[in-house]
Structure 1
């Protein structure tokens, strides 16, 4: 990934937080038929390994777990907020007419080595933790629990999936949120994005602008 210095996000805690906030990652592998990608919800075990470990599961019918050898190098892409930015939102455009459209976004590439975990205890733990994390967002409805279904049914469902574990060896973060623009243009873009419902992206832009002073 091309990352100009002014767009680089190198803080591990910020990269981990993006993964937690946007856990649906694109797992990119090089298989026997070439490049392939699977979109999976990941759990981040931040204290497991020097840069954290990603845990997930795939359907047993998915040949990924058979085609990719243990120890294979893989990459998982996590994308946060993104939006088109019009040059009309920059005050300087109306003075000098020297601006062009762009796209703002935040993304993390997690590189690591894949390990297959065809292990019922491992899979049950991953499913249980993912369920608790994401069911907490289902309020005011009562959160669903694995114990809501019969044990036989849950055992059958768990038998149909295989666990994967990726110890992260390298994290690359890119936060392209108008850091290369003068302050009034970055603020103008953020305010227009906020008006269009992109409140989270606008907040990150304004926070970064505040850190720059």
Structure 2
């Protein structure tokens, strides 16, 4: 990942939180196979496990699962079986997580520089995290059962807000479905475990611009009157304020 100083996020805790808040990742592999393309990608919802939530050192472990019929699954199984270490890939893998609020930035938003010099060009504001390193494929029933249960609980409570408290609905649980039905589904998936070696991320939110240009960007996005516009406007202000505070 290209990390310009103005945009790079150094806090491991912040990067981990972005992954958890926007947990649909894109798993990318580059593995030689006679039966599949060299580069493959799949959208997979992940869980990020850490033992110490306050740690700025611990990167964590990603857990997910993928359909056995997916060509990428077949390549992963093939490579893992050929590995000197059982079920562990020798090849590096990449997982990309992106915040849903991103937007084109028109030069018209730069209310200071555009009128003064005209030396402005369009860009795109976004936030993303990239995760690297080795992958373990796991077909054990115990791993898959825990993975499915934990992922469902995370999505039902953290994403949907079904906590069962006050006026909130009760969350759906794996045990709500017939046991035999779940057993059959588990036979059609493989588990994925990724031990993080590198965790990199950026919030590209106009931090490199002057305060007045940033104000123009904040107002410009807010005036769009859209949910995404307001979300990006808030992120530009938040990241700009953080940058200004760090400079003091």
TM-score band, normalised by shorter chain: over 0.9
- Measured after TM superposition, the shift of residue 107 of structure 1 is 0.7
TM (normalized to structure 2)?
Answer: 0.80
Structure 1 counterpart of 2:208: 180
Which residue of the partner structure matches residue 238 of structure 2? Answer: 207
Aligned residues: 213
Give the match for residue 76 of structure 2. 65
Residue 51 of structure 1 corresponds to: 59
| 1:143 paired residue number | 171
2:171 and 2:213 mapped to 1: Cα distance? 44
Give the aligned partner of residue 37 of structure 1: 41
Gaps of 5+ in 1: none
CA contact 1:25–1:41 (8 Å) conserved in 2: yes
Q: What is aligned with 1:22?
A: 22
SS at match of 2:40: strand
| Structure 1 residue 141: Cα displacement | 4.8
CA RMSD in angstroms comes to: 1.8
* Maintained 8 Å contact 1:88/1:94: no
Deviations 1:87-107 (A, max 9, x none): 111111133322111101111
1:142, CA displacement in angstroms?
4.0
The answer to whether residue 93 in structure 2 is matched with residue 74 in structure 1 is: yes
1:50-95 CA distances to partner (integer Å, 9 max, x unpaired)?
4111000011222243233223310101111311011111111133
The answer to whether the Cα contact below 8 Å between 1:7 and 1:174 also exists between their aligned partners in 2 is yes
71-80 vs 133-142, greater mean Cα deviation: 133-142
| Aligned mate of 2:140, from 119, 123, 126 | 119
CA distance in 2, matches of 1:121, 1:132: 17
Stretches of structure 2 lacking an aligned partner (at least 5 in a row): 81-87, 163-167
Using the size of structure 1 for normalisation, the TM-score is 0.93
5 Å-filtered alignment, 1:79-90, equals 79-80=98-99, 81-90=101-110
Q: Which moved more, 1:5-14 or 1:140-149?
A: 140-149
Asked if the contact 2:18–2:129 (Cα under 8 Å) also holds between the matched residues in 1, the reply is yes
For residue 12 of structure 1, report the CA deviation from its aligned partner.
Answer: 0.1
1:155 to 168, 180, 183: 183
Counterpart CA distance in 2 for 1:206 and 1:50 is 29
- In 2, Cα distance between equivalents of 1:86 and 1:173: 24
Partner of 1:164: 192
Superposed displacement of residue 204, structure 1? 2.1
**SS, match of residue 8 in structure 1:** coil
Matched, 1:192 2:220: yes
Deviation at 1:45, TM superposition (A): 0.5
